[in-house]
Amino acid sequence: MKSSTDRPAHTLSAADVYAAADRIRPYIRRTPLLDLEVDDRRVLLKLEYLQRSGSFKLRGALNAMLSGSLDDHVVVASGGNHGLAVATAASLLGVSATIYVPQTAPAAKARRIEAAGARLVRHGATFAEAAAAASEVAARPGYRFLHPYDDPAVIAGQGTVAAEIVADAADVDTIAVAVGGGGLAAGTALSVGDRRVVAVEPEHCCCLREALAAGRPVDSAADSVAASATGASRVGEAPFAVLTAHEVSSVLVSDEQILHARDRLWEECRIAVEPAAAISFAAWLADQVPGELPCLIVCGANADWTAE
């Protein structure tokens, strides 16, 4: 079984993010910024939910798959978004993919994974159980396991979201990002220079907060309305190394705040997203995101919406 790179996370830099941006540019969308005023305050939204596959995860998947020779078959475990990203990337690059998801994976995400052409396998009650099964299969010759966040090439790919923000709005002074396993937050920290990064987690799904308290990644509960996207039970070793080096801290929001923020995005902007994508907006509404001009990454939209 191979990972996408053996490079230590602590050696990652902004240069790796710029290289990733060049590598994945032919395949991704450069998502727009929305400049708006809410409650008499100005804020920017990075509309990454408009990305192909419906989330930022495509960036890391592509960078990891393109950071070396392509394998015959990619195997991943996912709560949904990473699996859909890998399925999409595999289709774009002409390779096969098998996606393991827990039994709790939302039907909307499972359906889209299969529609993208990947083989979907439901296994176990948790991401950890799905990952164990995927790792076993990926040990076969010609197969490759692609971790959703604990991989330096994935981190560099995710960092291209923030690199676009900085390029398009140089006066942004704070970027807020939802945290699951930490890949997007770590990539953001690499990309923004001396700007502040706010890592936001659900109250009962906060593996980064618990790792920071313990001084190392530890097992953590994952119980939130956003758990299908942020439900990692343990922050990745590679993201944790980057986040601690850049002194990124965690702030928490409740499920009620997340759902309110999701509904507010719809009411204010007609933006329809999954709960995890509203996490950074929830923190901003609660005055937990400082700065004169903050930018919030609206990271995914893989949920079903019904028109009334």
- Yes or no: say if 180 and 38 are a contact pair by the CB < 8 Å rule: no
Q: Which of 169, 131, 163, 171 is nearest to 18 (CA)?
A: 163
- Residue 71 DSSP code: P
Q: What is the 3-class SS of 219-251, one letter each residue?
A: CCCCCCCCHHHHCCCCCCHHHHHHHHHCCCEEE
Q: Tens digit of pLDDT per residue, the chain (308 long)?
A: 344 445 666 689 999 999 999 999 999 999 999 999 999 999 999 999 999 998 999 999 999 999 987 777 999 988 778 889 999 999 999 999 999 988 888 888 888 899 999 999 999 988 788 888 998 988 888 889 999 899 999 999 999 999 999 999 999 999 999 998 899 999 999 999 999 999 999 998 888 999 999 999 988 887 778 776 676 778 999 999 999 999 998 999 999 999 999 999 999 999 999 898 999 999 999 999 999 999 999 988 776 655 45
77 strand-pairing partners: 100
Helical pair 207-214 and 237-245, crossing angle rounded to 10 deg: 70
- Yes or no: say if 144 and 71 are a contact pair by the CB < 8 Å rule: yes
- Coil, helix or strand at residue 191: helix
Instruction: Count CB-CB contacts under 10 A for residue 244.
Output: 18
34 exposed, middle or buried (CB, 10 Å; 0-12, 13-18, 19+)? Answer: middle
